[in-house]
Chains A and B, each alone.
Chain A
Amino acid sequence: KNQVEQSPQSLIILEGKNCTLQCNYTVSPFSNLRWYKQDTGRGPVSLTIMTFSENTKSNGRYTATLDADTKQSSLHITASQLSDSASYICVVSAGTNFGNEKLTFGTGTRLTIIP
């Protein structure tokens, strides 16, 4: 059964500090892994998408890493800002052909940045 597990469930850090969110998956065959940011009351917004051959991808202060061997990904946030307070969702796509891929969602990490 395909599964995506995220940790921690919630995290509180001081503004300006760095943090790392984790995503472990058991999805096969792996196609790509996505990180989304979801502000309260809004739809998710894509941060990064990584395929099997990519082991790191950055989007501003957000850097995602992927280890396809250990089936782990992390999202590192540098110099956190109050606007980073949100839920971060890891999504893994499985499949080999266009049209038959299946998305598996993690339950997210709730990040709170305090001044």
Chain B
Amino acid sequence: KAGVTQTPRYLIKTRGQQVTLSCSPISGHRSVSWYQQTPGQGLQFLFEYFSETQRNKGNFPGRFSGRQFSNSRSEMNVSTLELGDSALYLCASSSAGARSYNEQFFGPGTRLTVL
């Protein structure tokens, strides 16, 4: 069974630009969660999508948005990039939900650098 895949793996953008990251969950998984990881803050929850609906949301500004398609693939968009958005963005899939006992499987992440 293929794991969680994320594209692209690395991305360099400049301030003010926008970016879209993609995540393909494990086949059969309906829940996709997004996280931001920085050295100082650790892993922080962005949002979770389940069956094309945003089910949970973390404490991030509206510049961060996402969506999920009918095949469970998910995209995350960040508009008006700031230097502080430089981070590793991780996607995780689960058969149930991010906030349940079911195990989450993480992708390799997308390393975003904002110059």
Contact = CB atoms under 8 A, between A and B. Distances in A.
Interface in A98-115: 98-103, 105-108
B43 A98 contact: no
B107 interface: yes
Contacts of A93: 99, 101
B109 A42 contact: yes
A43 B101 contact: no
A43 B100 contact: no
Interface in A26-46: 31-32, 36, 41-46
Contact of A46 (B104, B107, B108): B104
Counting chain B residues whose Cβ lies within 8 A of the other chain, the interface size class is 20 to 34
A51 interface: yes
Nearest to B6: A43
Contacts of B66: none
A101 B108 contact: no
Interface stretch (B14-22, B77-85, B90-98): B90-98
A43 B37 CA distance: 10
Given A43-B92, A43-B107, A45-B106, A106 B42 contact: yes
Nearest to B55: A99
B45 interface: yes
A36 B42 CA distance: 13
Nearest to B107: A43
A89 interface: yes
Nearest to A36: B106
Interface of B: 4, 41-45, 55, 90, 92, 96-101, 103-109, 111
Interface of A: 31-32, 36, 41-46, 49, 51, 89, 91, 93, 95, 98-103, 105-108
29 contacts: A32-B101, A36-B106, A41-B108, A41-B111, A42-B108, A43-B92, A43-B106, A43-B107, A43-B108, A44-B90, A44-B106, A46-B104, A46-B105, A51-B101, A89-B43, A93-B99, A98-B96, A98-B100, A99-B97, A99-B99, A99-B100, A100-B99, A101-B99, A101-B100, A105-B44, A106-B42, A107-B41, A107-B42, A108-B42
Given A95-B99, A99-B97, 20 more contacts: A31-B101, A41-B109, A43-B90, A44-B43, A44-B90, A45-B106, A46-B103, A49-B101, A49-B103, A51-B101, A91-B43, A93-B101, A98-B97, A98-B100, A99-B55, A99-B100, A101-B100, A103-B98, A105-B44, A108-B42
